[in-house]
Amino acid sequence: MLKTLKTYFGYTQFRPLQQEIISCILNKKDTLVLMPTGGGKSICYQLPALMMEGTAIVVSPLISLMKDQVESLQANGIAARALNSSNNETENANLRLECAQGKIKLLYISPERLLSEVGFLLRDIKISLFAIDEAHCISQWGHDFRPEYTQLKVLRQQFPQVPIVALTATADKITRQDILRQLAMRDPQIFISSFDRPNLSLEVKRGYQQKEKIRAIVKFIERHPGESGIIYCMSRNGTEKVAELLEEKGFKVAVYHAGLDNLEREKAQDDFINDRVQIVCATIAFGMGIDKSNVRWVIHYNLPKSIESFYQEIGRAGRDGLPSDTLLFYSFGDIVLLSKFAAESKQQDINLEKLNRMQQYAESDICRRRILLNYFGETADHDCGNCDVCRNPPERFDGTIIVQKALSAIARTDQQVGTRTLTDILKGAVTQEIIDKGYDKLKTYGAGRDIPARDWQDYLLQMLNLGYFEVAYNENNHLKITEAGRKVLFGHATAQLVVIKREERTVKPSRKSTRKDVSLQPVIPTLIPAIFEDEDEQLFETLRQLRKQLADQQAIPPYIVLSDKTLHLLASRQPRTLDAFGEISGIGEYKKKKYGKDFIEAIEAYKAENKR
Ligand code: ADP
Ligand code: ZN
């Protein structure tokens, strides 16, 4: 097994559970694999496919996913093909022939196609195993339900001797039961790996307005020069606005949402996968169809509606296992809107509860990863050290007076205001509404002048989360004081608030540095930071360009030529012989022969140039 792993995939070790799962499949047992995105599910069925006689049939729900998998297998010299609606008749005829001759090790197929081939192609070839990828699509309870998946139970009846392996990153019990039952799996072995993704850093920023968010995003991306990332927004408008603002700052951004036509969406996805744009601003619709292993960061511009969605979306970063960063913004407006959606949805109670848990995550003052793992039923016994709470624990102060000012203002308006008007009252602003309603005559008018409006937004969000007031979604989002709030208002309890920490503004260049001076400075490209010791950042950039060139020549994405991790290893170990090149993780026999010479030459040229 290890030999096959190195020969074809270039890896020298299995990830947790991979070896056990592979043995199980080789023993022809039905198997269910639950692993997080990036956990390494593919190898679990690809390796047995290579070791067993015949062709493995892989069911996959999306053409783009099949394409990605087939391309990466072929890039490792493995005979893989896809049978789907994007093929023409000649291609299909050839494919059938190759399958019948036993030349194909893995055949990817859509579920509807599979069903129509049960009595034809599948009868004519020797099948090693069935792999059902994204198996949660079988469950109506899941988020990606596909009716065709429910008919896959014919496989167990029609091919009793062929093992079935189902794989998914959705771990909940109902989905799991559904998969086992609907595929009619026989005495299935179930493998559940940890859902922890320690390479993803976690960070939350609360109560930022648009301008501050953009400023924080720019700073964040500057720490990731040239590295791919996704920004998730709640609305289509949001994606376009954020994209526009980032483009003004000079970034290459694509937009992806359900309002675009298929071609536009395909282009956005394609540009992203092939590193032609660095950033995609997307609604949640983006991501299921991509396996890009070098997404280095994910930002949520708005709060997601549940921890499941959140985890799935950040999971698209760092599939190659390298450190990757995630950032979540969350504001009062998000809560108001999401609560409204949840309250109006079919499964109101469940959805409100899910939102509630998401909110608790965002508000947490204990290690955020512990909360996530806990949510997925795993207990973590230590703090992660890779989230903002671990790195910078929140500080609290006695905020009783601040809370009293706000609650008193709410009370004096007969609880007829939302956060905006409340802030206006506290700040002593002069607006039409304030004058019309006589709020300027209230005792609390202007009582919070000393606190900036944006900090009021933050404090009000904290107060909502502390349960001092509620938002009446059915009454223009007016704020209603709760029992807990009344206690603070009347001095029977104190309130602990969290100290607000803001991004420092980046200092603008002073006026003295005139245009002329600036243009005289050489443009220094910002380099992607090293990951390994002894890694040469400049060499990494050189190799990255070579990778892009090789990728473009073959019309495949750069991360399929070599992963980011392999590239970083090359820039650190700097192999000068083919054997040394072949020892690098991620380089199997095929890639060694195909790319070894090019990369060794590039390294030698670089060393010769930089000798001193
Ligand atoms: P999933 O399908 O679970 O999201 P993948 O199968 O796409 O994950 O694997 C994620 C990444 O991890 C891929 O780049 C893959 O090549 C890599 N990978 C898988 N197994 C190993 C391993 N044993 N050693 C090193 N890298 C691995
Ligand atoms: Zn932590």
How do residues 457-469 score in pLDDT, each as one tens digit?
Answer: 889 988 988 889 9
Quick one: 209 and 301 in the same domain?
yes
CA proximity to 475, closest of 600, 288, 339, 355 = 339
Quick one: 159 and 209 in the same domain?
no
User: Is the predicted pLDDT of residue 143 greater than 90, yes or no?
Assistant: no
Quick one: 549 and 587 in the same domain?
yes
- Structural domain contains residue 523: no
In this predicted model, what pLDDT tens digit does every residue of 341-393 receive, in sequence order? 998 888 888 889 899 989 989 988 889 999 999 888 887 778 999 999 999 98
> Which pLDDT value is given to residue 142?
67
- Structural domain contains residue 522: no
191 token code pair = 């493998």
CA proximity to 547, closest of 610, 498, 591, 493 = 591
Quick one: 48 and 160 in the same domain?
yes
Q: What confidence category does residue 308 fall into, taking pLDDT thresholds of 50, 70 and 90? A: confident
User: Is the predicted pLDDT of residue 301 greater than 60, yes or no?
Assistant: yes
Q: What confidence category does residue 612 fall into, taking pLDDT thresholds of 50, 70 and 90? A: low
CATH code, domain with 231: 3.40.50.300
Quick one: 159 and 254 in the same domain?
no
In this predicted model, what pLDDT tens digit does every residue of 23-50 receive, in sequence order? 999 999 999 999 988 889 999 999 999 9
Using alpha carbons only, how large is the chain's radius of gyration in Å? 28
Quick one: 265 and 307 in the same domain?
yes
Sign of torsion over alpha carbons 70, 71, 73, 77: positive
CATH code, domain with 422: 1.10.10.10
> Which pLDDT value is given to residue 458?
87
Quick one: 179 and 299 in the same domain?
no
- Which range is least confidently modeled, 152-156, 380-384, 539-543? 380-384
Quick one: 319 and 359 in the same domain?
yes
Quick one: 316 and 367 in the same domain?
yes
Q: How far apart are CA 588 and CA 7, in angstroms?
A: 5
How many whole angstroms from 539 Cα to the centroid of ligand 1? 25
Tell me what the mean pLDDT of segment 173-198 comes to: 92
In this predicted model, what pLDDT tens digit does every residue of 387-443 receive, in sequence order? 999 999 889 999 999 999 999 999 999 999 999 999 999 999 999 999 999 999 999
CATH code, domain with 596: 1.10.150.80
How many whole angstroms from 19 Cα to the centroid of ligand 1? 13
- Which range is least confidently modeled, 16-30, 247-261, 466-480, 501-515? 501-515
How many whole angstroms from 371 Cα to the centroid of ligand 2? 9
More confident residue, 240 or 350: 240
Which of 500, 522, 556 is a domain's end point? 500
Quick one: 93 and 15 in the same domain?
yes
Which residue's CA is the closest to the ligand 1 atom numbered 5?
A: 40
Quick one: 188 and 208 in the same domain?
no
> Which pLDDT value is given to residue 381?
76
The residue written with tokens 């086992």 in the block is 180
- Structural domain contains residue 511: no
> Which pLDDT value is given to residue 382?
86
> Which pLDDT value is given to residue 503?
64
- Structural domain contains residue 324: yes
> Which pLDDT value is given to residue 607?
93
Q: What confidence category does residue 284 fall into, taking pLDDT thresholds of 50, 70 and 90? A: confident
- Which range is least confidently modeled, 35-39, 486-490, 492-496? 35-39
- Structural domain contains residue 514: no
Q: How far apart are CA 426 and CA 435, in angstroms?
A: 14
Whether ligand 1 lies within 6 angstroms of the CB of 563 is answered as yes
User: Is the predicted pLDDT of residue 480 greater than 50, yes or no?
Assistant: yes
> Which pLDDT value is given to residue 144?
78
Tell me what the mean pLDDT of segment 307-320 comes to: 92
Which of 144, 164, 192 is a domain's end point? 192
Whether ligand 1 lies within 6 angstroms of the CB of 39 is answered as yes
Quick one: 543 and 595 in the same domain?
yes
Domain count, the chain: 4
How many whole angstroms from 436 Cα to the centroid of ligand 2? 49
Which of 338, 361, 387 is a domain's end point? 387
In this structure, the strands spanning 31-34 and 189-192 are: parallel
Mean residue pLDDT of the chain comes to 91
Domain that holds residue 218: 200-387
Phi, psi dihedral angles at 130 (to 5 degrees): -110, 130
Ligand at shortest distance from the CA of 135: 1
The preferred substitution site among 6, 37, 42 for testing ligand 1, maximizing ligand atoms within 8 Å of CB, is 42
User: Is the predicted pLDDT of residue 601 greater than 50, yes or no?
Assistant: yes
- Structural domain contains residue 141: yes
Note the pTM of the prediction, 2 decimals: 0.87
User: Is the predicted pLDDT of residue 558 greater than 80, yes or no?
Assistant: yes
